[in-house]
């Protein structure tokens, strides 16, 4: 796992950071991948290509570009990849939210077909959690399609994120291999990184489906 740099302000306790790093390291080992921060152009190009393979956008369109990823990484945002024997199997990116880096918005996370079913997505999210806590960030947000049952289970039960608000047609038309041509309704969730439920979920104890 990448050496995580701690924010000097220290609002998140050292014990919480250490526990998060340990959970992330354990999840990566269980998935048999190495997860690390990415910054080099060649690495970022591989992430852009991976996302394009997963989402299968229309001609002339990409979920993200190498240039955007380069700007995100260079400005201190979150760009990480999961590797097995040098092959990129998954990636996750996020950018800081206002005010003053109070939260991190996780924009895209994806795993290649070769990496499915191994817990790599879970390992990536735990790496992102540990990274955020080491930056003194205790909230991560993201959106997902609530009509896809496996997404709801992963985000709400396995990770312990909580619903924040419903966003009708949030992205507008996307027309890719995953979203098709329909409305892009999304559920925004808040992942309270220091909450007991999230701490338990990071150790493999999912949140009950009826929890609020």
| Local confidence pLDDT in tens for the 212 residues of the chain | 444 555 545 789 999 999 999 999 999 999 999 999 999 999 999 999 999 999 887 776 789 999 999 999 999 999 999 999 999 999 999 999 988 788 999 999 999 999 999 999 999 999 999 999 999 999 999 999 998 899 999 999 999 999 999 999 988 876 655 665 678 899 999 999 999 999 999 999 998 866 54
List the structure tokens of 90.
Answer: 């998954």
Residue 25 lies in a domain: yes
**Domain presence at residue 94:** yes
pLDDT at 184: 85
CA distances, 212 to each of 83, 160, 200 (Å): 35, 10, 15
Structure tokens at 187: 């559920």
Residue 163, domain member (yes or no)? no
User: In CATH, what number is assigned to the domain containing residue 58?
Assistant: 3.40.630.30
- The predicted pLDDT at position 177 comes to 54
Residues in contact with 163: Cβ distance below 8 Å, sequence separation at least 6, in sequence order: 156, 187, 188, 189
Does the residue 184 lie in any domain? no
Question: Residue 171: inside a domain, yes or no?
Answer: no
Distance CA 201, CA 101 (A): 24
- What are the structure tokens assigned to 104, written together? 């991190």
User: From residue 97, how far is each of 14, 103, 212 by CA, in Å?
Assistant: 23, 5, 24
Q: Is residue 7 part of a domain?
A: no
Q: How many structural domains compose the chain?
A: 1
How much is the pLDDT for 100?
A: 77
What's the pLDDT at 56?
Answer: 87
In whole angstroms, what is the distance from residue 159 CA to residue 202 CA? 7
Report the alpha-carbon distance of residue 76 to residue 72 in Å, rounded. 7
What is the rounded distance in angstroms from the CA atom of residue 101 to the CA atom of residue 74? 16
Range of the domain at 125: 14-138+194-202
Is residue 43 assigned to a domain?
A: yes
The Cα 171–Cα 183 span in angstroms is 8
Residue 176 lies in a domain: no
State residue 98's pLDDT score.
86
């Amino acid at each position: 796992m990448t050496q995580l740099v701690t924010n000097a302000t220290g609002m998140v306790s050292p014990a919480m950071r250490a526990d998060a790093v340990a959970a992330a390291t354990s999840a990566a080992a269980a998935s048999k991948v190495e997860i690390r921060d990415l910054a080099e152009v060649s690495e970022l190009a591989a992430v852009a290509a991976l996302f394009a393979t997963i989402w299968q956008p229309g001609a002339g369109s990409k979920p993200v570009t190498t240039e955007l990823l380069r700007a995100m990484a260079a400005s201190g945002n979150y760009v990480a990849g999961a590797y097995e024997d040098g092959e990129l199997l998954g990636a996750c990116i996020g950018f800081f939210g206002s005010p003053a880096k109070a939260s991190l918005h996780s924009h895209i996370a994806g795993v290649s077909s070769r990496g499915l079913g191994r817990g790599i997505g879970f390992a990536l999210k735990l790496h992102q959690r540990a990274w955020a806590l080491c930056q003194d960030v205790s909230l991560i947000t993201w959106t997902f399609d609530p009509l896809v049952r496996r997404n709801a289970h992963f985000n709400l039960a396995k990770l312990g994120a909580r619903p924040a608000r419903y966003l009708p047609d949030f992205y507008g038309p996307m027309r890719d291999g995953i979203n098709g041509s329909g409305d892009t309704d999304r559920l925004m969730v808040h992942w309270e990184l220091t909450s007991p439920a999230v701490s338990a979920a990071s150790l493999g104890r999912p949140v009950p489906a009826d929890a609020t």
